[in-house]
Structure 1
Amino acid sequence: MSIKRDYMISKVLNNNVILAVDKKTRQEHILVGKGIGFGKKDGKMVRLSNHDIEKSFIAYDKRTKKEYLQLLNQLDGKIIGMSEEIISLAEKELGHLNSHIHIVLTDHIAFAIERIHMQLEISNPFLYEIKALYPEEFQIGLKAAQLIKERLEVDIPEAEIGFIALHLHSARQNKKVKDTMKDTRLLKEVVDLVQKEIAMTIDNQDLMYTRLINHLRVAIIRTEEKKPIDNPLLESIKEQFEVSYRIAQKVGEYINEKKNIDVKEGEIGYLALHIERIRRSSN
């Protein structure tokens, strides 16, 4: 059934995104829909049906309203509209995202585009870790890159796609980007420690690398949440894989030092199994 509502257009962001006030509720919404902004003008009244609108949401709360309005005044509407399309796409695939994503991702994309125009190199030291840890978010980042190219004729590098994935993951987990970055950095440092101890480089494109870094992430989460796991193989691991167990202990000590959490023996034992598998693969 088609339900129509009247909206006053505050700002046409692009052909598919408008900022508009619902005449009945007086709430300002971001409206996303194919061709919804085509031929429309700011300050005009428009009647839209639920079939016209793919997604409708309030882009800010009282706390963030000032920040979002500043973005509207400072940035090209095309960038804001395109960012909202990316967020809409992400929520379809990932579920609800923290509302602050409308500010931080939009601002980040605008700054990235500015750096690209200035021909400043964008580097991402955690790119491979991001790909391994947040594959769903990275896939959306790839789609975002395609959208940016279509809308703005700007090619963003893979490093920047990684940063977009970080923002999406943070919003998905209700975390600050700096905290997600800190966690990702720690995982990279731990993998570097393992590589140093076993005196070999693990190919970051290899499945073994992905398995190791994902196991480390889950182990840290379990430890933070104080959910120790039983390891019936622990004594056998200690005896049979003495070298790998000793390396795993060093990893546990490093995590303890950085996050002030006590990694239990059961976790260390399972990590030793991963390390032993990597050591054997090198032979």
Structure 2
Amino acid sequence: MCNSRIATILRELVAAKSASSIVTGEYLANINRVTSRTARNDMKELDTLLSKHGAGVKSIRGTGYELEVWDDQAFHRLLQEMFRDESMQQGGIPDTQEARVQYLLQRLLLTNEYMKLEDLADELYISKSTVQNDLRDVKKILQQYGIVLEKRPNYGLKLKGEEIKLRFCMSEYIFNQKARELNKINEQLSIIAKEEIIIIRNVILGQIKEYGITLSDVALNNLIIHIAIACKRIRSSNHVSIYENELVRIIKQYEYKAALEIVEAIEQSLQISFPQTEVAYIAIHLLGTKLVTHTDMDEENLQVLMDKEIYPLTLKVLEGIESKLNLGIRYDKELIFGISLHLKPAMNRYRYGMNLRNPMLAAIKTNYPLAFEAAILAGMILEKELEIKIDENEIGYLALHIGAAIERKKMLHQPKRCMIVCASGVGSAKLVYYKLQSKFGSRMEIAGTTEYYKLHQVPMHTLDFIISTIPISDSLPIPVIEVNTILDGNDIQKIEHTMLDHSNETLEYTREELVFLQQRFETKEEVLRFLGDNLQKQGLVKEGFIDSVFQREAMSPTSFGNLVAIPHPIMPETDTTFWSICTLQRPILWKDKQVQFVCLLSVEKNSTTDLQKMYNLLGKVVEDQSLVQQLLKCKNYNEFTRVFLGKR
């Protein structure tokens, strides 16, 4: 019906319409990696297509494009038809290496028989050597589950591993991770009849309600899938085996009783017999869900609820985050409860090697970058303490708790921070100090007093403004309020105005020699090496700094969408906080996203500064499509700063 570029443009227009925003031509050209002229031709082609289906593209001169729909039913039918076409293409012969790896995983997971290399090559219309190359990636995925690809001469290939791990792998790679709703669970693979899926769902809902177990929608659908896979595997005589001592431990758990009730109801409805180990398998899934949603209990009751090691582990995690990022959330009671309650099922998930999906991961990384960084630190502490590997999905869930705590802190009144500059001596400085304290109270935090000649030693990024009794001609990154030594009403009014004025944003974290515009690089590695070498030449970073940045990228890519990436070292390493910025003439692929604006961020080690203001500034770039497009056009530093600060 339409090519992939047209489909991409339509998706962007639909998303923009739902957000009541406009999409620029430059943005569409960049995400499809084509010229502006090609993008305009694509737009004409899309408009012609839409005109036959109750919609069209409206061009707003000098601004961009927006979707118009005058026949909702006709337009909805078009979207459904396009979705089916896309699904058919995906269900056809895989034509990319990624698609072939997915296909090979499914074929191997869904058979109990040996499969010959020649047959797989014929199915995919590729050579044996290509299949062998693809199987290397298949093996890497299987290793995560402790599954091996057994090769037997004259027979072929077959998967070998624990049944429970095979099922976890099936759940992850047979179902599309993005389609978790009940009505989509059975569309991609007829594991069991749709009617049986509905029965399983109703049984689960009934039992978890009776036992007071709380499941999210994602966890519910995940459990439905695992029980459906269990039914299919049991019918083909493949049973889960669990070590005897582990089985005894599970049977003693509260969740085992709920699992037993679920199994008895399913056995009666589906005419299938579950052995005891299969009941334990379902109990494992219930153990891997959040069981309590209340946060109104006191600390003593929380410690009773938790396993004895979880509560102190939570405190250690929060202390680690506080020591590195100084977020001021260490004693947030609701955060302590939330992390503690999350860790109990998380530890059970890792005990049994269960896979966890987080459909909100991309949104969390984009909208809560500071919380996600804190969660990365939490994950590192947990890995060290528990000797387990914390994956990106789990980090995303931890970030939700931390993000909520940051938002709660923002709701509290935050005082403005200032420094007093006074040339007439300690007495007059103290006079200004006490007058300000009596007038503004808790609304103002006075960091101290200083002489003019020592002003260059003051860390400006820790302050909101400076109050000075003498004129200051130096160009400073924050506002300077000149007042009389004996503060009068006019002085107080000027200070009040500055405290209420939020328009004084500055680029205090970067400078001209750290900004590189319109560069020609082809890969993420080239960009990072270039920025790292420049920072090292300027003496801002030590050798190994960029290696730490690559280490952080390996944990979770820092591409946030909207063509923006904000890479940084895995731990604070430098003596100051700064940005080094690079814009590119053409977008590059950064893991799975296109990137054209790179802000290499370094945070001061052992900093006591509140970084929320800085992250808010970066968040403005991540969220503002129009701003990014304007910044990408800038050809010199002065133009860049004007655009960034909204003075364009």
State the TM-score bracket (shorter-chain normalisation). Answer: 0.3 to 0.5
Q: TM-score, normalised by structure 2?
A: 0.18
Whose radius of gyration is greater, 1 or 2? 2
Q: TM-score, normalised by structure 1?
A: 0.39
Answer 1 or 2: higher relative contact order, Cα 8 Å, separation at least 6: 1
